[in-house]
A and B are shown apart, each in its own frame.
Chain A
Amino acid sequence: MQIMRISVSMAILISIAGCEQPKAGGTSQTTHGREGASTSKNPGGSVKLFDAEKTYRIEFSAEPSPIGTSAPFLLHVNVTRASTGEPVGDESSLVVDAAMPEHRHGMNTQPRVSRVGRGQFDVEGMILHMPGRWEIYFDVTEGAVTRRATLQLELE
Chain B
Amino acid sequence: MIQVMRFVRRNLPCLVSSVFLLIFMSCAPRNVKLQTIDSSHSNNSIFTPQEFRRILKHASLPQVSDPTNRYQNSESAAILGHRLFFDTRLSVNNKINCAACHDPTKGLADGKPIAEGLETGRRHTPSLWNVAYNRWFFWDGRADSLWAQALHPIESPAEMGFSRLAAAHLIYGDAVLRRLYESTFGALPTLSDDTRFPAQGKPASSVDPNGNDATWKSMNADDQDAINRVFANIGKSLAAYESKLVSRRSPFDVFADGLATDDKNKMAALSPAAQRGLKLFVGSANCRVCHAGPNFTDGEFHDTRVPTLDGGQPTDPGRFNGANEVIHDPFNATGAFSDERTGSFVEFLVNNPENWGRFKTPTLRNVARTAPYMHQGQFATLNEVVDYYSTLDRALPAGHHGETILQPLFLSEDEEHDLIAFLESLTDENITPEWLVPAANTKLP
B136 to chain A, nearest CB (A): 9
The reply on B17 being an interface residue by CB < 8 A is yes
The reply on A69 being an interface residue by CB < 8 A is yes
The reply on A83 being an interface residue by CB < 8 A is no
For window 253-291 of B, CB contacts with A under 8 Å fall at 288-290
The reply on A91 being an interface residue by CB < 8 A is no
B139 to chain A, nearest CB (A): 15
A127–B49 touching, CB < 8 Å: no
For B340-358 the 0/1 string (1 means CB < 8 A from A) is 0001010111100010000
Interface 9-residue window, one of A12-20, A46-54, A55-63, A136-144: A12-20
How many A-B residue pairs lie within 8 Å, measured between CB atoms? 99
B288–A131 touching, CB < 8 Å: yes
A109–B345 touching, CB < 8 Å: yes
A103–B292 touching, CB < 8 Å: no
Partner of B32, one of A2, A14, A131: A14
A11–B403 touching, CB < 8 Å: no
Interchain CA distance A132-B292 in the complex, whole Å: 11
Interchain CA distance A131-B300 in the complex, whole Å: 12
For window 23-70 of B, CB contacts with A under 8 Å fall at 23-24, 27-29, 31-32, 34-35, 37, 48-50, 53-54, 57
Chain B, interface size category, equals 35 or more
Q: Which residues of B contact A92 (CB under 8 A)?
A: none
Interchain CA distance A2-B20 in the complex, whole Å: 16
For B390-404 the 0/1 string (1 means CB < 8 A from A) is 000000000001111
Partner of B57, one of A11, A69, A104: A69
Residue of A nearest to B302 (CB): A105
**Given that A69-B57, A109-B349, A125-B347 are contacting pairs, would A11 and B292 also be in contact in the complex, using a CB cutoff of 8 Å?**
no
Would you give 30 A-B contacts (Cβ < 8 Å), ordered by A? A2-B48, A4-B14, A7-B17, A8-B17, A8-B20, A10-B34, A10-B35, A14-B24, A15-B23, A69-B57, A69-B298, A70-B298, A70-B299, A103-B404, A103-B405, A104-B401, A104-B403, A105-B354, A108-B301, A108-B350, A109-B345, A110-B349, A112-B348, A125-B347, A129-B298, A129-B299, A130-B289, A130-B300, A131-B289, A156-B53
